[in-house]
Amino acid sequence: MIYLRILRLCVFILFLELLLVRLLSTEVSVLAYLQNSILVSCFLGLGMGLIAPKPKDNPSDALKPLAVILLLISVPFVREGARGSALGLSIFHDFLVWNEMTTPGILGGVTFAVLSLLIVFSILALCWGAMVPLGAELGRLFATTPERLKAYSADIFGSLLGVLIFTSLAYFSLEPVWWIVVLVALALLQPSCRAPRSLSLLALLLGFAVLGKLTDDSDITVWTPYQKLQFAALGDGGEWKVTVNNSGYQQIQNNSAQYSIPRAERSIQHYNLPSRLAYPPRRALVVGAGTGNDVAGLLAHSDADIKAVDIDPVLLRLGRQLHPEAPYANPRVHAVENDARAIFLNDPPKTYDLIVFGLLDSHTTPNLSNARLDNFVYTREALQAAKHLLTDDGILCLIFQLQRPYVAARIRNLLEQTFGQQPLVFNVPGSEYGWGGTAFVVGDQARLQKNIESDPLLRGHLERYSVAFDESTRQIPITTDNWPYLYIEKPSVPTLFFALGAMFLILWLVSSRQRYGYFIAPDLGKPDEVAFVMLGVSFSLVQVFSINKASILFGSTWFVNSAVISGILIMILFSNVVAAWLRPSYLFSGIIVVILTAGLGLLPLSPLLEYPMAQRALLAGLISGLPLFFSGILFATAFERAGDPGRALGANLFGAMLGGILQLVTFRWGIASTIYLAALFYLCATIFGTYGRSSLERRSLSSGADV
């Protein structure tokens, strides 16, 4: 049955897309910085396959580039080279790359940058190559379907299943070997993948996945719902090195011997600092608690009740199992799996007299928007919410690993504007007792001053390691929920992303020439086809806006992203039903979409934070879902009358690719700019679609055809 074949193929396509996004962004960290680059290359490949399918295209051809990808990240020395490619991008100084490399002069830096970009281009080309034959097969299936809306609904339902299957694997922390097992099972549902050659390729995929697992030299490796964690034991003291997405992250410390020293004689170290500043803390909140070092330090230095928060449940679980001081087993500790921003928004005001930010950063964690996982924790609105949780004599201690001076100045400016006071800023040198960083401290000045004056060691440390800022740093713009880009120096599109745009253009040109001998693109001379491009651009921009806003309302988690995408797909299915039932006017639907989309940008969502979680989710879904519902009707109406459904879907995917590139405007004008840009493209889609329909009717009437 044709509709079942479409459904099975789309399950495979969406599952493969998400697998590539997560696997490659983790193992090749440069792709975690270039957010959505994998998705954009997949859209390009699918779109080209849909617009210009070739008779020899076979879905099993997708397995060959996929096998190459898995081979590259399974062979240890190749994998390490690809991982190191991110360091070459540190030459782009307007965008922070974690663990910047030191190069021998400008020539060395340019050489490493070029090599890094070549690695990125090669991976994007492989992703493109995997998607082209799948797009071609989907186009052929649509060309033979008798009911387009029914076929499109099968497409969307299959996509929804693909998202849910991959999210389920992430929920149970299953590692990539199991992802490949599921992918192979989905491939075997495709008739073309059961030939002997295809079965050999599928066996290779499984073999490379097993090879990747066998060449992992860590003592413990866990793929959590958010990141890849690796633990390596350090000696006999119960300490562990923790690596996240193949980058140094933290170390499980055993500081119990240090704590036997009387308080007055202890040195100032990372994990005993907050309790000395807020001595004696009564109730503390630790966000970014990780495996428990900050919590262990508070337990050893105070009698405070502690709420420990981390977004990753596996970090908390392994902290319970591995930390030699067992901080999470203490009855004074309440560990919570959640996003820090969600805690700031939902806990009662004036609850804590100490809030600790425990090296909370996520430089290489993949995400489905162009904001990093931790971006919405360090905004004006987030810190205002954290401020409301402090008691009148409360202290906030934020310790951060800094690599650029402008990040330090931005955090200083944020705290100064939020709390109305100049924060204490001083360095905390790393040692065997902790990694250290730069501390920013604000709160009740009388309490701070009293504790500093009564603690000679603390006072001496502040005098020795105090950080001074040049007056010009006050011009560094602060981060907000609309512009949350902590690691970008100023509102502008980073140079690195112009290089990425050039790579996509080259890939488009070279792949067109290689595969077809001519440039493949939607026919801009056909208004209907232009309308599908515009609809794809708008949809991509609305999706980015929705994911970012959901991160503010519910926390920036993988499951929030999955829920948003799944909700969008469900809304499209509902739109298809209504479009088939009511047959609404294309022009009317387009006008409604433009009004609702523009209104979504004007409507503040912050009042929703006052409602309980269930009501907040319902109201947010209704508000953001209405534009998507009517845009679904608009697409369904246009798709049903399209001359070539394959080309229509291809044009739409080209638009989604362009929308993925256009979302870079958020770096310059903020997240709200995406929704206004989407409204503009919806308006253009309405105009072109209406004009195309009128032209078709005129041509049909002149030829005597029935429209």
pTM of the predicted structure, to 2 decimals:
0.88
Q: What is the reported pLDDT for 383?
A: 94
- CA angle 644/647/653 to nearest 5° reads 145
Asked if 441 and 423 touch (Cβ cutoff 8 Å), the reply is yes
pLDDT tens-digit readout, 607-628 = 666 666 666 667 777 777 788 8
**pLDDT > 90: what percent of the chain?**
39
- For residue 431, how many other CB atoms are within 10 A of its CB? 11
Q: What is the reported pLDDT for 704?
A: 44
Which pLDDT band holds residue 112 (cuts at 50, 70, 90)? Answer: confident
- For residue 505, how many other CB atoms are within 10 A of its CB? 11
Q: What is the mean pLDDT of residues 100-129?
A: 77
pLDDT tens-digit readout, 93-111 = 666 666 665 555 667 667 7
- Please list the residues that pair with 334 across neighbouring strands: 307
pLDDT tens-digit readout, 35-68 = 778 888 999 999 999 998 777 778 889 999 999 9
**pLDDT > 50? residue 701:** no
Most confidently predicted of 267-271, 384-388, 503-507, 625-629 = 384-388
Q: What is the reported pLDDT for 698?
A: 47
Q: What is the mean pLDDT of residues 374-402?
A: 91
DSSP per residue, 359-397: S---TT---SSSS-TTGGGSSHHHHHHHHHHEEEEEEEE
Q: What is the mean pLDDT of residues 218-241?
A: 85
Amino acid letter, 338: N
Q: What is the mean pLDDT of residues 104-122?
A: 76
Which pLDDT band holds residue 251 (cuts at 50, 70, 90)? Answer: confident
**pLDDT > 80? residue 224:** yes
Considering only the top CATH level, what class is 523-695? mainly alpha
Amino acid letter, 93: H
Please name which of 362, 420, 434, 471 lies closest in space to residue 98, comparing C-alpha atoms: 362
Spatial neighbors of 100 by CB under 8 A, at least 6 apart, are 87, 90, 403
Helix residue ranges per DSSP H, 420-526: 445-453, 456-465, 495-515
- For residue 114, how many other CB atoms are within 10 A of its CB? 13
Tokens of 274: 């907050």
21-48 burial, b at 16+ Cβ within 10 Å, e below that, comes to: bbbbbbbbbbbbbbbbbbbbbbbbbbbb
**pLDDT > 70: what percent of the chain?**
87
Q: Dihedral sign, CA of 233, 328, 338, 373?
A: negative
* CATH 1.20.1250.20 intervals, the chain: 523-695
CA 200 to chain centre: 34
Q: How far apart are CA 122 and CA 117, in angstroms?
A: 9
**pLDDT > 90? residue 561:** no
Asked if 211 and 74 touch (Cβ cutoff 8 Å), the reply is yes
Please name which of 648, 650, 597, 602 lies closest in space to residue 624, comparing C-alpha atoms: 597
**pLDDT > 90? residue 250:** no
pLDDT tens-digit readout, 501-547 = 888 889 998 888 888 888 888 888 888 899 999 999 999 998 888 87
Asked if 69 and 212 touch (Cβ cutoff 8 Å), the reply is no
Question: CATH fold of 263-361+380-475, please?
Answer: Rossmann fold (3.40.50)
Exposed/middle/buried for residue 307 (C-beta within 10 Å: 0-12, 13-18, 19+): buried
Q: How far apart are CA 38 and CA 25, in angstroms?
A: 8
Q: In the predicted model, what is the mean pLDDT of the chain?
A: 85
User: Token match 């360095």: residue?
Assistant: 427
Asked if 98 and 363 touch (Cβ cutoff 8 Å), the reply is yes
Q: What is the reported pLDDT for 125?
A: 93
Q: What is the reported pLDDT for 706?
A: 41
Q: What is the reported pLDDT for 691?
A: 75
> Can you count the helices (H) and strands (E) in the chain?
25, 11
555: left (phi over 0), alpha (psi -120 to 50) or beta: left
**pLDDT > 80? residue 84:** no
pLDDT tens-digit readout, 583-616 = 888 888 899 999 989 888 777 766 666 666 666 6
- For residue 456, how many other CB atoms are within 10 A of its CB? 10
| Helix (H) / strand (E) containing 427 | strand 424-428
**pLDDT > 50? residue 81:** yes
Asked if 687 and 677 touch (Cβ cutoff 8 Å), the reply is no
- Please list the residues that pair with 228 across neighbouring strands: 223
Query: For residues 168 and 546, which has the higher predicted lDDT (pLDDT)?
Result: 168
Q: What is the mean pLDDT of residues 169-187?
A: 93
Q: How far is CA 271 from CA 274, 284, 301, in A?
A: 7, 14, 9
Bond before 280 cis per omega within 30 degrees: yes
Q: What is the reported pLDDT for 404?
A: 81
Which pLDDT band holds residue 77 (cuts at 50, 70, 90)? Answer: confident
Mean pLDDT lowest for which of 390-394, 451-455, 540-544? 540-544
* CATH 3.40.50.150 intervals, the chain: 263-361+380-475
Q: How far is CA 334 from CA 306, 326, 328, 382, 475, in A?
A: 6, 13, 8, 22, 40
CA torsion angle for 630, 633, 634, 635 (degrees, to 10)? 120
